[in-house]
Amino acid sequence: MAVVSTPATLERALPVMDNAEVLRIRNDFPVLNQLVNGQPLVYLDSGATSQNPVSVIEAEQEFYEQRNAAVHRGAHHLAVEATEAFEDARQTIADFIGAGYEETIWTSNATEGLNLISYALSNAGLWAARGRGDQGLRELALVPGDEIVVTEMEHHANLIPWQELAFRTGATLRYIPIDDHGSLRMDAAATVIGPRTKVLAFTHASNVLGIINPVQELTGLGRAAGALVVLDACQSAPHLPLNVKELDVDFAVLSGHKMLAPTGIGVLYGRQELLDILPPFLTGGSMITTVTMERAEYLPAPQRFEAGTQRISQAVALAAAANYLTETGLDRIHTWESELGQRMVVGLESIPGVRVLGPAAGKERIGLAAFDVEGVHAHDVGQFLDSRGIAVRVGHHCAQPLHRRLGLTATTRASAYLYNTTDDVDCFLEAVAGVRAYFRA
């Protein structure tokens, strides 16, 4: 009997990634083939923005060259082709994250997706109070006494929208603390998450600590409390296999520019039964059925949450990026990046005066490491590395409360991706080892 190869079996059949393959992969990324300050570019800032392979660049260019038009409702040939490309891209991304087609909503970025959820929930209260919409809105509406729970390690994008939702509704914002190593205190989580919790929002992987959080354990606590569970997948979707159904979350967000796609495109996943009753976030054209001078009726999801002219070429390019990652193999990418992350941590921990945030060497992390160099400001470290052609991120990485908890104001962060080699990491480590001597710290 013939054996049918599925994507999963094909991925298992592929060899483990190594430097030789990564060097071939690098050829797909034109921007990496340049000198910076007279040195070959070592790009270790993919946690902020990843680079684009030729296939992604060409997908967006081909859209503009061959089928550029406004999507939906157009009767002419280009409009039909543009709509097909746009909606095919939606299906590609839905498959990529294990979601349904109608559950996959285009946004400008993950930040917009999180704001969409928070404003839709506050609008749910307004609609319910005025007898508008589905009866289920009353269960989603937040009122004084309700609680929203986040974690102490959140990116500002997954903190401030919930602060503002608490302000608008009178709910209370609480957080799960971290320990001195940056790990979530799950003993505290079991007490912070309780019967008053209406929303539980947390990051899958920390953009500072590199920690991969126990999603299913947290989701279990949220489910027991009857809370909506929101997952920030910005640092996980580009780097490891993601299935929102298996993780059992209600909402999830990701940003295209962190997973080989252009800026200006993101994705919000939401359970169909929730999207069907939630009020829209933005209103205007393209998301309505009937409009009178007094009121409007809205389309179902996903169009219900996609007002105005859409990010068509960016969506097409994001689909191309998802295909590139799938063909390379996300399990393989995760394994390779984990190796690079461990190499970073082992090397950094061996340098006198360097403090690494997050899990110690040997413990699971994604391929990034944020660190502090004693006596040298993070911005000076970044400029020193840049003078050697090494691109890293400096600052608080949009996580001020986390840095404050760990007694820091800023750190330097190196973040690897599928196009980085062990030589990149070694070059970076050699440069960091010279920082304190250069600044006479």
Taking the CB of residue 130, how many other CB atoms lie within 10 A of it?
8
Sorted by sequence, the CB contacts under 8 Å of residue 129 that are 6+ apart come out as: 141
- Can you name the residues that pair with 36 across neighbouring β-strands? 39
398 annotated active-site: yes
Angle (deg, nearest 10), helices 110-129 and 160-169:
10
For residues 29 and 6, what is the distance between their CA atoms, to the nearest angstrom? 28
Task: Identify the burial level of 270 via C-beta atoms within 10 angstroms of its C-beta, where 0-12 means exposed, 13-18 middle and 19 or more buried.
Answer: buried
For residues 51 and 55, what is the distance between their CA atoms, to the nearest angstrom? 12
Q: Which two tokens stand for residue 374?
A: 């004693």
Spatial contact of 70 and 76, defined as CB atoms under 8 Å apart? no
CB hemisphere CA count around 130 (13 angstroms): 6
Task: Identify the burial level of 437 via C-beta atoms within 10 angstroms of its C-beta, where 0-12 means exposed, 13-18 middle and 19 or more buried.
Answer: exposed
Q: Nearest CA to 103 among 259, 298, 262, 271?
A: 271
Residue type, 226: G
For residues 60 and 38, what is the distance between their CA atoms, to the nearest angstrom? 31
Spatial contact of 286 and 307, defined as CB atoms under 8 Å apart? yes
SS3 289: strand
Q: Which of 57, 346, 398, 408 is catalytic?
A: 398
Q: What is the biggest distance separating any 2 CA atoms in the chain, rounded to whole angstroms? A: 71
For residues 67 and 320, what is the distance between their CA atoms, to the nearest angstrom? 16
- Can you name the residues that pair with 146 across neighbouring β-strands? 144
Catalytic residues: 398
